[in-house]
Structure 1
Amino acid sequence: MRTLTKADMVDHVVKQLGLTRQQGRLIVDSFFNELSDSLIQGKEVKLSGFGNFELKDKKSRPGRNPKTGEEVPVQARRVVTFKAGQKFRQKVNAIQ
């Protein structure tokens, strides 16, 4: 299985829309910047037909070093979660 990269996305946009590589890169970068900025501001990002990105706060908790078994505190942090939309889940499940 091959990994999709940002460069692959730029190539696809350039090919589909007949743009220059610079214009394609600007579009892809703008999309990811908008997505990131919105999440950083605490907004939920909903992409119809694809899914939702949300920022969640996780509390600190006790953890364990897997090598030594020593207890280590895990710091409180913010994480980005993704929940696939129903249409996207159906497409993924149809591939099986």
Structure 2
Amino acid sequence: MTKSELIQHIAEQNPHLYHRDVERIVTTIFDEISNALADGNRVELRGFGAFSVKHRDARVGRNPRTGESVEVDSKHIPFFKTGKQLRERLNNGADS
């Protein structure tokens, strides 16, 4: 599901809201999650999962095309861990 499909789905389920307001709400939620992660915070959505940031140290990588060694800088990457309810729903089917 893309962001625009999510907005459309929410707008269809809430006909009393303007499409532009639903779009603003979804964008604000994503922006707040992104801002929290950029600040090094963890974002937990109970029953869905938790977003956090993991640090990867610098390392020596390899160019797969040439086999040449390449220095890879350290970096921060987003990480998502599913919540218990989501895992159960995925493993027991959508009918639960």
* Both proteins in one fold, TM over 0.5: yes
**Counterpart position of 1:56:** 54
Alpha-carbon distance in structure 1 between the residues aligned to 2:73 and 2:35: 23
Aligned residue pairs: how many? 93
Between the aligned partners of 2:11 and 2:84, the Cα distance in structure 1 is 29
Identity across matched positions, percent: 37
Q: Which residue of 2 aligns with 1:73?
A: 71
In structure 2, the residue matched to 1:16 is 13
Secondary structure of the corresponding residue to residue 81 of structure 1: strand
CA RMSD, Structure 1 to Structure 2 (Å): 1.3
Which of 7, 15, 33 matches 2:4? 7
**Long gaps (5+) in structure 1:** none
Which residues of structure 2 form unaligned runs of 5+?
none
The alignment's TM-score, normalised by the length of structure 2, stands at 0.91
CA deviations over 1:25-46 (Å, ceiling 9, x no partner): 0011011011101111111000
Report what 2:36 is aligned to: 38
Task: State the alpha-carbon separation in 2 of the partners of residues 75 and 33 from structure 1.
Answer: 26
CA displacement 1:3-33 (0-9 Å, x = unmatched): x111011111111122111011001101101
SS in 2 for 1:12: helix
Alpha-carbon distance in 1 for matches of 2:43, 2:2: 21
